[in-house]
A and B are shown apart, each in its own frame.
Chain A
Amino acid sequence: MGNTSSMLTQYDTEEVQSHCQDLCENFPPRNLSVSSVMCLIRYSQQEILSLYQRFCQLDRNAKGFISSDEFLSVPEFSMNPLSLRLLKMVDGLNFKDFVAFLSAFSAKASLKQKVKLIFQVYDSDCNGKVSFKDVMEVLRDLSGSFMSDEQREQVLSQVLNEAAYTCDSFLTLEDFIKVFGSCKPEMDVEIPVD
């Protein structure tokens, strides 16, 4: 599938689908690399073909991966406050891992998969724990210069204390899942299929 033509055969799409499922089944607890944490769902063949066309469109010189610059050339992505964090996660992914990353945004993905992705965005040093500082950094990206550091600290300490955590506690994936409860975060992106 590393060739320059933009034609996928049925073998190729099945390979991507099973790659997604393998990652789901063989999830090793210690390994927190991007693709293994993104447990996946089965995308339909049509969706994979559409994603492949999009991948080829973004990957201008058919290198087999999309560089940061090419991601940032999409103005809607560039304008997003979390673009740099996401860029660290998607930069240089090949097509299979690209689909694996996006699968958390499918309507068919489970609560656990979506919360895992959110956890990954917070846990930038990939040590499996989200500290007060990590959440502060994401808050800083989201609110910019419109909130002072003191205000951010105040808000965060307040909600943490109410949820029976302290400012020194570390949040793990299980904590995140508990916080989100049974309510799935609204994170659905539909793949346009034409």
Chain B
Amino acid sequence: MSSTEGKMVTSRSELELDHPNIEDYLPSGSSINEPRGKLRLRDLLDISPTLTEAAGAIVDDSFTRCFKSNPPEPWNWNIYLFPLWCCGVVVRYCLLFPLRCITLAFGWFIFLSTFIPVHSLLKGQDRLRKKIERVLVEMICSFFVASWTGVVRYHGPRPSIRPKQVYVANHTSMIDFIVLEQMTAFAVIMQKHPGWVGLLQSTILESVGCIWFNRSEAKDREIVARKLRNHVQGTDNNPLLIFPEGTCVNNNYTVMFKKGAFELDCTVCPIAIKYNKIFVDAFWNSRKQSFTMHLLQLMTSWAVVCEVWYLEPQTIRPGETAIEFAERVRDMISHRAGLKKVPWDGYLKYSRPSSKHSERKQQSFAESILARLEDK
């Protein structure tokens, strides 16, 4: 994917949202390789390249692979290992799970009994209140991580509060946020969820400065973009964390990054997160499980092991577009966390691709036929 091709297309795609030239990435069979020469009936009737592409997509496609859960291999498959596994189940459900619930409940108790007074009493002294709230949010996140026996290793310099910087990370599950929040109180931009998660979002996370959006509302984009810009400019706001993939991916691949985070005119600090599937697969397959079930699954497994790398801050290079910048950062994150890149927009999980892509194919077919018609 040469940089010249990217430049040629981005002027058109800047007008539209984040749809760079996907044709560049699709397998080379996608262009209809026509031998030069007179147009014959066979050439017109031979639709095999198009059919092959369609059948290839039915048999295997890189987009669906990104959202496939890959649980760890079962090891309890013979007569000696099975009783061992049963003991393990008993320990996990009857010993660890209750202990973890108690720890979590204890943590919530401390948190609420400190947060609510601080929030209401220190209304006047904003700086002190914010500082205390930050510490409290970090604390409750540590309790959450402890409730899954999270073993998290952080590499690289810890984030600091500075204006004009934004953090971006790859997204596997909502627990990404908790794992990162444990170390630094980030303000995050998230999809507004229903239920108890939504309640937490509107009360506690509001205090750290989180921003909400609604995937299904198109006009929302501009409002959110404005809120983002305002947040980054402020000196006293918590560092902003954005998941540019826009959706949870299974931690083996990365989908295209949305350019919104990269056109805020500030430094972008990439964070790479990689979960070790040894005890549990941390991918939240939102189609298959609710978040509550996902948390319960984590709380009844042995441990959640992950690595977090804080990578070197990047700024946009002169002459580089936002999309190229996003791809460069995605490269860094994928390389560090050992993830494969795919050229799809994560939102295709919720909507169909625009007709622009099939139109491009139609255009190249029409042009080749007409050109060969000229060849007499």
Contact = CB atoms under 8 A, between A and B. Distances in A.
Contacts of B46: 118, 180, 185
B22 to A, nearest CB: 8
A11 to B, nearest CB: 21
A116 B61 CA distance: 25
How many residues of B sit at the interface, in one of the four size bands?
A: 35 or more
Contacts of B52: 105, 186-189
Contacts of B352: 72, 75, 78
Contact of B366 (A147, A160, A188): A147
Contacts of A74: 57-58, 61, 63-64
A139 B359 CA distance: 13
Majority-rule SS of B interface residues? helix
Interface in B302-349: 344, 348
Interface of A: 51, 54, 57-58, 60, 71-83, 86, 90, 102, 105, 114, 117-118, 121-122, 135, 138-139, 142-147, 151, 154-156, 158-160, 162-163, 165, 176, 179-181, 183, 185-189, 191-192
A75 B362 contact: no
A54 to B, nearest CB: 6
B60 interface: yes
Given A74-B58, A142-B50, A192-B59, A159 B348 contact: no
A71 B54 CA distance: 10
B213 to A, nearest CB: 23
10 contacts: A54-B60, A57-B68, A78-B352, A144-B366, A146-B359, A159-B40, A162-B40, A163-B40, A180-B46, A189-B56
Contact of B44 (A51, A145, A156): A156
A117 B373 contact: no
Given A80-B53, A145-B359, A162-B40, 11 more contacts: A58-B58, A74-B58, A74-B63, A82-B47, A121-B47, A142-B366, A144-B363, A159-B43, A179-B41, A189-B56, A191-B60
